[in-house]
Homo-oligomer: A and B are copies of this chain.
Amino acid sequence: MPRARSSKKRRKLTRKTTKKKKSSIRKESIKKRKAATLKELKGLGEGVYSQMIKRRFPSLKIPSRSTGNIIYDDRLGQYRLDDKSVTRSARNIRHIRPFTQLVWTASFTHGLSKTGKTSTLRDIFYSAQAFEIDFQNQRESDNIITDLETILGHSREEFNVFPEERSAIFGDLTIEYTVKGYEGIRTNLTSHPDGFMIGPALSTAELISTKANKVIVIEKGAMFTRFVEEQAFKKFKAILIHTAGQPPRLTRYIIRRLNDELGLPVYVFCDGDPWGMAIAITIICGSANAAHLSGLTTPEATWMGLYSSDIQKYDLPSERLKEVDIKRLYDMRKDPRCQDEPWKTQISHFLKHKRKCELEAFSRYGLDYVVKKYLPDRLA
C-alpha cells in the first residue's frame, strides 16, 4: 500500500502549508505576476536576439510534452513534466516554421500584456494573418501557444490569451481590478445576485478582503442560484463558484487563488456520476493536458459529493448508469489521480450499484433541503 501512505503524507504536508499560508497571506501581487510574465517574454526575445548578434542560429529549449515525459507526481498530487526537453533551432530547416511562429507568438502576446489587451486562441489564429505569419489551421496556432506556456511555465491567461467560455462567482469577497480603465476600483461580489462573470478582469483582480471562510464550487447553475436565494452563502460563510460543467481554466485559476492567497478551504459539489467526479478531479489534480502548468490545480480542495453512497443514504431519485458511464469508471479506477479516498471507495460503489444522480435530485425533498440538511451533514 505505498500509494495510500504517500497520499496521507501528501495531505499532511498540504495541511501544514495551509496553516502557514493562513498566518501570512501570500504577498505576491497580480501586478508583480504580470510584470514577471512580461519580463520572461522579453527574456525569450532577448535570448533569440543575443544568439543572432553572436552570429549563431537562434534556438529555444522546450520541455517535452510527449506522453513519455508526463508523470503523475504523487507529492504534488498532479501531473507534471519530467526532465526531457527538445531544442527548436533555426538551423534545422524543419524547425524554421514552428520556430518563427513561436517567436511571433511571444512577441504578439508581449504586446498584448504590455498594452493590457486580451485575446483568445481563435483571435490569435486570425491575428497572425495581419503579420503574414502562416498558421495552416487553429490547431497549429493552439499548439504554438501551448509551447509558449511550456517554455514560460505560465498559463496563457497570464500573457492575456483568455478562453471563450465563462463561469460565475458570488460571495462576500472584495476585489480590486487591475485592468485598464478600472485600476484601483473595488467591487464586492455580493452586489449582483446572479453572479459575476469570471473573465479577464475578474481573474486578474487583487483579492482584497473577505468575511467568508470557505469556497463552495458547484457544477450546476440551478444549485448556484438556490445557494444564493436560500442565503446559504451567509449561513456557511461561503464564496460560491458556478463552473457550468467542466470549469474553464480561468475558473480553476481563481479557485486556486482563493485557496492559495486567502487560505480558504475549497469544497467541490458535482453531480453523482463519473462526469461530476471528473470535474472534481480536474479542479483538485488537474489534467494530463495541462501537465506543463502548476497554477491551475488546487490539491487542497475536497470533493464533497454527490457520492454514489449518497444515492442510497438520502434515497435520491437516480438513473441507471449507461455503458459509457461504466467505461469511464473503469478508466478512473486505473487513473493515478483516483487512488486515494474517497475516490477508490466511491468508484467501487458506483460500479456495484450502477446508479447515477444529479444535484437537482435533492429537490424531491423540497427546494431548500440541500442547503438545510445535506450540506451541513457533509461539512460536519
Contact = CB atoms under 8 A, between A and B. Distances in A.
Given A127-B367, A222-B164, A198 B202 contact: no
A121 to B, nearest CB: 9
A321 to B, nearest CB: 17
A119 interface: yes
Contacts of A118: 225, 229
Interface string A150-192: 0000000000001011101000000001011110010100011
Interface residues of A, number: 54
Interface string A239-257: 0000010000000000000
A251 to B, nearest CB: 12
Interface string A210-240: 0000000000111001000101000000000
Contacts of A317: 126, 129
A180 B187 CA distance: 21
A360 B122 contact: yes
B197 A358 contact: no
A195 interface: yes
A194 interface: yes
Given A123-B360, A225-B118, A192 B187 contact: yes
A243 to B, nearest CB: 12
B192 A202 contact: yes
Nearest to A193: B201
Contacts of A194: 166, 196-202
Given A130-B365, A177-B193, 6 more contacts: A123-B363, A126-B361, A166-B168, A166-B221, A179-B193, A194-B202
